[in-house]
Amino acid sequence: MIISFIGGFGMCGFFGVIFDKNNDNLGKILNKAGERLSYRGYDTAGIAIFDKEGGYEILKDVGTIEDVSKKYDYLSKSGYKGIIQLRWATFGSPSKNNSQPHIDCKKRIIGAHNGNIINTHLLISELKNNGHNLKGTNDGEMIIHILEEEMEKSGNMENAIIKTNIRLRGDYAYIVTEIERERMYAVKKGSSLFLGKADGYICLSSDLISILDHTDLVLPILDNEFVEFTSDSYKIKSLIDGNEIHRKPEINELDVEDIKLGNYRHFMEKEINETPEKFKHLIDVIKEHNEYNKAIDVLMKANNIYMIGSGTSYHAARLGTYYFSKLNGVNTNATFASDFIERYGNCLEDGDVLIAVSQSGETKDVKNGVDYFKKNVKGTVIGVVNVLGSTLAYSADIVLPTVSDIEISVPATKTFINQCGVFLYLALKYKGSGDISDLEMMPEMLSQFIDIEQSRIDSLAEELKDITDIHILGYGIMYPIAMEGALKMKEVMYIHAEGMYSSEFKHGPLAIVYDQYPIIFLSTLEDKDMIVSHINEVKTRLGKVITFAPHDSDLEEISDVFIPLDDANYFSSPILAGIGLQLLSYLMGIKSGKNPDKPRNISKTITVD
């Protein structure tokens, strides 16, 4: 059977591999996997490497995979099994002691994790009282010492893993090995995990792409499962009772060649330019994918429709509310996933529908909302997700794939545009006319916009590259795009950028405007009169007005810089403005010396509360 899921993303990441004999290229293999995992964390990096003679090394430190690998000469290392981990710091500051992998007190067990153990502080006290010598305060270290305790009690790793699960609180995955045994174990409880069966060895990772460098025979490990594996065999077992679970690897058709940088400077640039092609692919899939028809039927019968997402995915959901309202007169409720339970938890009814949006399918806040909904009402969860092997894809009743393929750069670009496309399709089909021409014209419009307007946006980026503050204002359907554009500038430029509803700017924030203070206005032609009024409020205070809107002589005349959104209509204008702001943020970033693919302090997906 051939499958086409895309690998999960998350905070931190690890990769483990085991051969039947010493391999001179083991260090190179671990280093390559670390490069694949680099978008998941760049606070610390580390490897554990083992040879057949019983020797081992743990080489770890603060810094990127490139820095730490060079310091310890990873490329020269050999052995028969190894682990690499990259960390995005949560519990424990970025330090050598908090970097992973970790080793137990008796120097028998070594392992690494990703995710979050929320009872870490209690475990630290408990383990210290039990006499453990803790090197740091990282939650991954606590796992190793708890396994050590449980091994002492039960005498074997399988029982220790099951008992350790009872003592841990949170969402996580980890990999562990006993130094003297030719096998590894890995556990999944919330964070993505994939096993790959290659020719003569087995590897396992948080990230699918690092597996596909070795084999296309892939097995996703599911929640509440753990796997024991050697160089040529594996067993999956329940994390609850230890019973064996029989499941075979399947062929994954994702081509690793598709995710090479090619002639582009950064993955963010590449992924923006891939958007027209990916949007067209989305339309093709929608036409053939019965899940979309099922979703329409469910939505038309829903008592209430809720939409949740985090960050960029929330902005796509928020745009979806305008599509449903303007096309169908249907009220939908979009909120931050983190606020869903607090805001709507007591309002949910049987027959409600929850649309959960997450490019990775592993976002913890989204998972919390889905779990609460499924536990408390008899309703339907629709997952809008890019990663078909993810937790959300498995927990949703209906899965709507955004088919954007892998997205390496931390700032979301093509995945956001395709999420918007999904919501536009749902709203158009809900209308019942069957006319999706607004959707079908988008790939060509996106392609032309990138080709024609990139030089104009590049000039604007040159003007704005040194700013420290900016406001992006949108009216009506453009408001979610204003928020998303501001988020992109925060991610890429590290500046204060605020996306606001344009009518609200006069209620206080107008005080910030000074001579040449930059403000970007987003407008449809339908909202032109309102935006002109809001522009004048800024122009009279000498602010610099930049406008993204369809061709219009009045708007062009009143603006200091005008970026035309071709002849886009009311429903396509937000999508074109979205990619325009992605381009602007990217170009500003590289002109100011930033690496847009790896913004500081953040990770591709947040798998903690």
CA-based nearest residue to 261, from 605, 602, 597, 9: 597
Where on the phi/psi map is residue 12: left (φ > 0), alpha (ψ -120 to 50), or beta?
left
What is the SS3 assignment for 461-507? HHHHCCCCEEEEEECHHHHHHHHHHHHHHHHHHCCEEEEEEHHHCCC
Q: 58 phi and psi, to 5 degrees?
A: -115, 120
Tokens of 481: 């795009």
Using CA atoms, how far apart are residues 170 and 191, in angstroms rounded to an integer?
10
Count the helix, strand and coil residues of the chain and give each as a percent rounded to the nearest 5: 40, 25, 35
Within 66-198, strands assigned E span: 79-87, 102-103, 109-117, 170-178, 184-189, 194-197
CA-based nearest residue to 175, from 203, 201, 196, 152: 203
Q: For the purposes of burial, counting CB atoms within 10 Å of the CB of 334, is it exposed (0-12), middle (13-18) or buried (19 or more)?
A: buried
For residue 525, give the 3-state DSSP assignment: helix
CA 176 to chain centre: 25
The secondary structure of 412-455 as a DSSP string is: --HHHHHHHHHHHHHHHHHTTS---HHHHTHHHHHHHHHHHHHH
Q: Which residues have a Cβ under 8 Å from the Cβ of 226 and sit 6 or more positions away?
A: 158, 161, 185, 186, 187, 188, 236, 237, 239
Whole-Å CA distances, 507 to 155, 483, 500, 523: 67, 18, 11, 20
Catalytic residues: 12, 604
Using CA atoms, how far apart are residues 502 and 476, in angstroms rounded to an integer?
9
Q: For the purposes of burial, counting CB atoms within 10 Å of the CB of 335, is it exposed (0-12), middle (13-18) or buried (19 or more)?
A: buried
